[in-house]
Structure 1
Amino acid sequence: MVERFELYGYWRSSAAYRVRIALNLKGLEYEQVPVHLARDGGEQHRPQFHEISPQAQVPVLRHGARLIRQSMAIIEYLDEVHPAPPLLPAVSRDRARVRALAMVVACDIHPLNNLRVTRYLERELGANEAQRLAWMQHWMALGLEGLEAQVADHPSTGDFCEGEAPTMADCCLVPQLYNARRYGMDLTAWPTLLRIEANCMALGAFQDAAPEAQPDAP
């Protein structure tokens, strides 16, 4: 039986971007099921999609009869069912470091800047465009500053966040830097992150996962 993966996502979703990178690094074929987060109030809010994602969020990975939600859980699931190449190191302390770096993005930066948060700021709190931009840039800068401090001059940092091969941390870093540029941030204050990003983007797995390369990109 041919293994079947379906990824529900959106071309500009950074969480879906993480999962695309992971799938590509694993060399796994998958079908993309676009869920447009902005069209007609957001296709993620349609009742039929709520059966797939009760939180009305992407990404969701369908693997056979299973639905796996949340990008970090999906990446770890992929690493367990397809261990090679690994996205988490073999040594416990190194795995903890990779998870911690990934969570700076997934838990500290991204949740404060995703679409539902910025829409709430606009619609419920009356924040104008300049105020929303300042909000996003503040939280991204704070998180990226901390991330840079954790990788700069650290003995475990190599060409990538941890060592000489991409891990889950790199899967999270690259989409976050893409988002930062999208919102006009100057990233020169974080040279180690930029160096790691350049090494990532030299790989086809990262290039093919880029938002503009997706079938639902305009």
Structure 2
Amino acid sequence: MARPTPIASEERLRDADRSQSTILAAARDEFAEFGLAGARMDRIAERAGLNKRLIYYYFEDKESLFGAVLEQAYQDIRSAEHALHLLELQPGEALRRLVEFTWNYYLAHPEFLTLLNSANLHRARHLQQSERARALNSPLIDLLGQILERGRKEGIFRGGVDPLQLYVTIAGMAYFYLSNNHTLSAIFGRDLMTPKARNERLTHMCDVILGYVLRD
């Protein structure tokens, strides 16, 4: 029997990549809408326009598929952050750009927040098993540490700022506001998602972060 040609093998690999990408996109939407517990493999197959058997060919079960979706979600946001080229900016501008990016990314990708909500509901057991997720996220903290250290050496930032704590604050200020905007708007009687309110929130976040790291 003739062996597959290199071109044929490459085409099969491209088909496999396309199939997996299609599955992950469909699964992301399903998990974002229904959570891990409510998601159904039949609906994922329908969303993807693929046979359910093909999903099980690539992913053992719903749990492993959810883990892969989380990994892809982190890959997407970290790739977008990498494209900012933050190290090429002045330290203060780099921090401001990261805050703005985080806020705008969360606004543009509400499914990212709902996926994180679902992952936390299950105590992040899918991420605890994922070396890829840790490998994807660690460079961001290293990058932020470099920005902080450069700012300190230039006399712009104060010393002793933990880059992990700082990023958690950046992400948390955006995440809490957007994840809880319905309840916050209801109890305070103010629509927190109008364009004006969103702009005010972003300005506040930038002021808080830069006010914390800048030297007096």
| TM superposition score normalised by structure 2 | 0.30
> Relative contact order, CA 8 A, sep 6+: which one is greater?
1
* Higher CA-based Rg: 2
| TM superposition score normalised by structure 1 | 0.30
